[in-house]
Structures are given as C-alpha cells and as structure tokens.
C-alpha cells in the first residue's frame, strides 16, 4: 500500500513542478513583453523629442537667416542627421552630423521636403515656405482650374470645371450654386448619407477639400499617398498594391503639394519696419526717403512730387473706397461690386479673388496698387512705375532720376497699399514657387518661367531679397513686372517643416509636420500634425542616400 502511494506522489510532484515552471516562464515572458513595450514607448518618445528638436532648430535658423534661402531651402550640413543626444553624453558632437564607425545609441533629426522640380527621384533637406504655393482661400477660378486639370489629367470621368465650381461654392458666402450642375451648395450636402453643412467660408486646412463635392483622396493626393514626392515601387505597380496608379513611370502628386491656407504676409520691409505709403503724408514720405537715399536728394524730391501728382496729393484714405478698389484704375486684382472669385465685376480685372474679404484684393512687396485707397487721377501702379512715370501738368522733370539701382530699395521700403492694410494674403514667392505654380501667375509666359527657374538658382540671396531682381536681372520687362506685381513676393512668412526623428540603433522613425509663422525673429506654431502613420519614406542613413539622388 505504501509503495502504491509513493508511486502516485512522484508524478503529482512532477506535474506540479511542470506547472510551476510554465507559470514562471509565462511570468518571465510577460515581464519581458512589458519591458519591450516600455522600451518601445521610450524609443518612440525619444524619436519624437528628436523630431521636435529639429523643429526648434529650424525656428532658430529662420530667426537669424530667414531671407537667406541657401541656409534653409536645401542645407544638408545643418539639417540632415543632426545629433540630438548620444550614449555617453558626449556634448561635443551634439548639434553636428558626425558619423560613427559603430552604430551606438545616437538620436538624430533630419528636415526633409519634396523637391517639386524633379523627376520623382529627388529630395530636399530643408523646409518649404507656404508662399511657394497657391492660397486656397484667395485662388482665382483660372488658377484652381489649371491645378485641377493637372491633377485629373489621367481621369477622363472627372470634369475639372465641376470640381472648381464646388470648391468656390464651398468657400463663398452665398447659397447660389455655380455651373450647370447646380447642386454644389447646401442641398447636395444635406442629401448625403451622413449629411453636413456646406461651409460658405474660408478653408482652414487643405485637407478640408475632402469634404467638397467631387474631391476624392486620389484628386487631393494623387498617387503620392506617403507624401514624400518620390516614386516608390508601390506607386508604380498598377493595382498590385496600394495606392492605385496607372504604372506610367510618373508620379501624380495631386493638388496637395501646390495648395496652402497659410500664406499671409505682413506689409513691412525686410527689416520688419512698416513700409511708407507713397500717397500718404508728404513729410513722412520725404523723411523715409531721405533715410533710404541719403546721397540722392533729386530722387527723393522726384518721388515725392510724382506721388503728389499721381496720387492726388496724398489726401486719399482706405476709408474712402471699398475693398479692392484701385487708386489708379483696377489692377489685376481690382474688385468692385464684390463679384465671385474668378469672375469680373465692373472695373475688375481677370484675377479678382475673394468674396467678402477686404484683404483679398491686395498686392505685394512694393506692389502694384490694387487694394483699398481713394480715387486718384494718376496711372502709377507700383513703385516700379517711378522708372517711367509720365509727367502730369508739367510738375515733374522731363526725365525721371530713378534708376534700376534704386528699385530694390523702393520695392522694400515703399508701398502703394495704405497703412490700414497691414497684411497681404495669397502672394506667390517668385524665388521658390515650382513651375506649376508659376504657370498660375497671369502675365508670365513660358519663356519668363524658364528664365525665372534658371536665373534664381544663380542669383545671390541679397539680390533676391525683393521682387526687383526680375527687372534688374532682365528676366521680365517693366510692363510684365507691373502686371504680375500684385500677386508675387520675394519672401515667405509661413514655413512648413517636416521633421524626422530617429536613432542609429533602432529602426523607428517619428515624422512630424509643422507650419510656423515667423512674426519677426520668433516662430509661432500655427499647425502641428503627426504623420508617423504614413511612415518615414525618406532616406535618412548614408547608405540610403547612395540609393537616391539628393538635389
């Protein structure tokens, strides 16, 4: 009997030991899983902090070199593989892009951007100024139509004009549908399975276009769903993998990279001082011009006399006329009767912009007069007109003393906009806008665009500080310059930063997209988004860069 009991006890004990071993193993696996999870969270936090360190670095860079494009447009030395922290706390390498033989623990950031001038295989190591895009809230019908036609070029089922009508109806203030379809206002959106109201107001983000009738993700993002501007294998394999593409070896970027809602510029000079109003008080104008041209009193007196004769003595005010009324006749953005965007009202030109927006009919750095001002008898449309201003009543010298050498100062320090208009929305940066955006500027021919794209690569930053370089470098003639002046600028104020944070020892990448507004030397964040879910999709290691051309 005793022997039988002993025979039972042994397997029971062994079973208990086995169960205890399994419990210990399960507990060990659970602990290891929790540790790995905690470590992954720690890695994610570290990469996120590295990306945010890159954003702060760009803010500092723009604070000291906002007008030096060479520092921020493409600068691998300061914006690629910059060390935020290394194992061992070697502070001597922090802020540098030093490489190590062994891949120890080192967190870095890279600031990346699409280069829209390429053939789908370039990237930039820099940032994008929002004024290089078309402002969705001030774009004309013809500008939107050009962009939409490119975005849907391969889709014969989509009618570009219908898309444009729906966009304009979404942002306008009335309830009257455009076009022949007639259902792009509230009634259409109320009949949807999940109804919502038409906004009848400005867009707050570019992604808001997805709420507009007919705008699909394929139209907004094209084939570039990872939004890196690179033609990756899954974007050129037909329907084998997402996204759907036409396998033509070309990347359709859609509308997204060419649109913004953030391009607004303060009406100040490059040293952040309010520009002097050419048709304001003559003594103030004379004082400012004496400072700008201390050794040339003839130029000062001529400008004062020309402004007085052309502007009716400086007695006009923005209070005397409605928004967008032109002092010297309607300019390209002149607007009377507040017509629809893209439509001409009485006295309006081909590019009027916005409905119910007093700042829509505006101009640029030293720009042509188009926004707010009283009526006057003259014909001066921009400071550039001082080069050829016509005499009125024999009050001016027979020949203007103003030369091309004076024009950069005039474009920077003077304006034809009244002081009441402190901001100018929707200007296009002639120094950074891609070809498709330049094609949206009415008045520029293909020859002009080719010359701009070729010349701006070689013109030094100090020369490109104002739009005057288009004349001084003989890219366009004076007549063309005066026509395009209301819609162009030579600088950006809002900048889009795409920051990647990563470590040499891990394969994790955090991708952040931020838009900052450079109000003076301090950058203010106005848009923040985590794009990590899209993946890194940019080359960040040296061996990756060997596989892809970097502009």
Whether the bond between 243 and the residue before it is cis, its omega within 30 degrees of 0, is: yes
Which of 150, 147, 153 is closest to 167 using CA atoms? 147
Instruction: Give dist(CA 59, CA 73) in Å, integer.
Output: 13
Q: Which residue has the tokens 């997209």?
A: 513
Q: Can you give the pLDDT at residue 5?
A: 62
Q: Can you give the pLDDT at residue 243?
A: 74
Which of 466, 324, 484, 447 is closest to 404 using CA atoms? 466
Q: Can you give the pLDDT at residue 499?
A: 96
Q: Can you give the pLDDT at residue 70?
A: 87
Q: Can you give the pLDDT at residue 495?
A: 97
Q: Can you give the pLDDT at residue 271?
A: 87
Fold of 137-260: Ribonucleotide Reductase Protein R1; domain 1 (1.10.40)
In a 13 Å sphere around the CA of 5, the CA atoms on its Cβ side amount to 2
Q: Which residue has the tokens 């966009």?
A: 167
Instruction: Give dist(CA 280, CA 208) in Å, integer.
Output: 41
Neighbours of 547 (CB within 10 A): 7
Domain with CATH 1.10.40 in the chain: 137-260
Instruction: Give dist(CA 109, CA 111) in Å, integer.
Output: 7
Q: Can you give the pLDDT at residue 543?
A: 61
Q: Per-residue DSSP letters for 363-429?
A: --TT----SS----S----SGGGGGTPPPSTT-S-SS----GGGHHHHHHHEESS-TT--EEES-EE
Instruction: Give dist(CA 493, CA 230) in Å, integer.
Output: 27
Residues of the chain with pLDDT under 70: 1-6, 118-121, 181-182, 310-380, 390-398, 542-551
Q: In whole angstroms, how far apart are CA 2 and each of 9, 41, 52, 90, 504? A: 11, 58, 74, 72, 66
90 neighbors 478 (Cβ within 8 angstroms): no
426 φ, ψ (degrees, to nearest 5): 75, 15
Q: Can you give the pLDDT at residue 380?
A: 66
95: left (phi over 0), alpha (psi -120 to 50) or beta: left
Q: Can you give the pLDDT at residue 4?
A: 63
What sign has the CA pseudo-torsion 223, 226, 227, 233?
A: negative
Q: Can you give the pLDDT at residue 112?
A: 93
């Amino acid at each position: 009997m005793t022997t039988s009991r002993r025979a039972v006890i042994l397997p029971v004990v062994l079973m208990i030991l086995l169960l205890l071993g399994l419990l210990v193993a399960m507990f060990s696996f659970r602990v290891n899983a929790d540790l790995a999870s905690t470590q992954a969270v720690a890695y994610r936090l570290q990469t996120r902090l590295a990306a945010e360190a890159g954003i702060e670095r760009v803010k500092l860079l723009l604070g000291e070199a906002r007008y030096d494009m060479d520092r921020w447009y493409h600068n691998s030395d300061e914006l690629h593989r910059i060390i935020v922290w290394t194992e061992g706390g070697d502070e001597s390498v922090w802020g540098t892009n030093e490489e190590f033989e062994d891949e120890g623990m080192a967190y870095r950031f890279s600031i990346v951007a699409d280069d829209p001038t390429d053939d789908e295989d370039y990237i930039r190591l820099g940032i994008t100024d929002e004024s290089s895009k078309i402002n969705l809230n001030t774009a004309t019908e013809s500008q939107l139509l050009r962009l939409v036609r490119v975005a849907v070029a391969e889709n014969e089922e989509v009618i570009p004009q219908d898309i444009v009508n729906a966009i304009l109806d979404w942002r306008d203030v009335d309830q009257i549908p455009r076009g022949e379809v007639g259902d792009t206002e509230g009634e259409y959106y109320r009949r949807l399975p999940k109804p919502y109201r038409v906004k009848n107001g400005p867009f707050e983000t570019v992604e808001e276009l997805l709420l507009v009738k007919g705008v699909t993700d394929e139209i907004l993002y094209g084939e570039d769903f990872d939004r890196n501007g690179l033609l990756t294998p899954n974007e050129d394999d037909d329907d084998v993998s997402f996204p759907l593409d036409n396998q033509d070896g070309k990347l359709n970027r859609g509308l997204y990279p060419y649109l913004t809602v953030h391009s607004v510029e303060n009406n100040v000079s490059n040293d952040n001082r309010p520009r002097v109003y050419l048709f304001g008080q003559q003594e103030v104008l004379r004082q400012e011009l004496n400072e700008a041209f201390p050794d040339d009193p003839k130029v000062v007196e001529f400008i004062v006399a020309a402004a007085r004769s052309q502007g009716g003595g400086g007695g006009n005010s923005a209070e005397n006329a409605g928004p967008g009324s032109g002092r010297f006749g309607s300019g390209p953005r002149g607007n009377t009767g507040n017509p629809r965007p893209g439509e001409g009202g009485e006295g309006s030109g081909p590019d009027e912009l916005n409905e119910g927006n007093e700042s829509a009919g505006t101009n640029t750095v030293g720009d042509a007069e188009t926004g707010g001002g009283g009526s006057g008898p003259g014909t001066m449309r921009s400071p550039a007109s001082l080069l050829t201003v016509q005499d009125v009543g024999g009050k001016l010298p027979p020949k203007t003393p103003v030369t091309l050498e004076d024009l950069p100062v005039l474009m920077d320090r003077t304006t034809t906009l009244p002081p009441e208009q402190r901001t100018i929305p929707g200007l296009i940066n002639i120094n950074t806008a891609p070809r498709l955006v330049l094609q949206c500027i009415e008045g520029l021919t293909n020859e002009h665009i080719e010359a701009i794209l070729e010349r701006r690569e070689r013109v030094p930053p100090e020369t490109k500080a104002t739009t005057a370089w288009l004349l001084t470098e003989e890219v366009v003639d004076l007549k063309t310059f005066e026509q395009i002046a209301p819609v162009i600028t030579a600088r950006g104020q809002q900048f889009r930063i795409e920051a990647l944070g990563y470590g040499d020892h891990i394969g994790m990448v955090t991708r952040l997209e931020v838009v900052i507004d450079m109000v003076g030397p301090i950058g203010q964040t106005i848009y923040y988004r985590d794009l990590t879910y899209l993946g890194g999709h940019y080359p960040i290691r040296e061996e990756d860069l060997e596989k892809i051309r970097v502009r």
